[in-house]
Structure 1
Amino acid sequence: MSTAFAEAERDARGLTDIVEILTGGTHPADHVHEAVVTVMGEAGFDLSGNVPREIATEELESCDYVATMGCSTLELDADASEVDVRDWALADPDGRPLDEVREIRDEVRARVSALFDEIEREVLPSA
Structure 2
Amino acid sequence: MTDKPTVLFVCVHNAGRSQMAAGYMRALSNGAVDVRTGGSEPATEINPVAIQVMAEEGIDISQGVPQLMTTEQVRDSDAVITMGCGDVCPIFPGKRYDDWQLDDPKGKSLDEVRPIRDDIKARVEALLAELLPSR
TM-score interval (norm. to shorter): 0.7 to 0.9
CA distance in 2, matches of 1:27, 1:83: 23
Counting matched residue pairs gives: 115
CA distance in 1, matches of 2:61, 2:78: 26
- The structure with the larger Rg is 1
Q: Structure 2 unaligned segments of length 5 or more: list them.
A: 1-19
* C-alpha deviation, 1:103, in angstroms: 0.5
What SS does the aligned partner of 2:60 have? coil
What SS does the aligned partner of 2:80 have? strand
TM-score, length-normalised on structure 1? Answer: 0.82
Q: Which has the higher strand share?
A: 2
Counterpart of 1:74 in structure 2 is 89
What SS does the aligned partner of 1:53 have? coil
Aligned identity (percent) is 38
Q: Structure 1 unaligned segments of length 5 or more: list them.
A: none
1:86-126 per-position Cα deviation (integer Å, ceiling 9, x unaligned): 110211100012111001100111000000111112xx4xx
CA distance in 2, matches of 1:106, 1:81: 31
Q: Which has the higher helix share?
A: 1
CA distance in 2, matches of 1:106, 1:117: 17
1:29-80 per-position Cα deviation (integer Å, ceiling 9, x unaligned): 111111111111111112223211112012112211011112342122xxx2
CA RMSD of aligned residues (A): 1.5
Q: Does 1:94 align with 2:106?
A: yes
TM-score, length-normalised on structure 2? Answer: 0.78
CA distance in 2, matches of 1:10, 1:49: 19
Counterpart of 2:22 in structure 1 is 3
CA distance in 2, matches of 1:51, 1:63: 19
CA distance in 2, matches of 1:71, 1:27: 9
- Aligned 8 A contact 2:27 2:59 in 1: no
CA distance in 2, matches of 1:29, 1:67: 19
The structure 1 residue matched to 2:69, chosen from 32, 51, 55, is 55
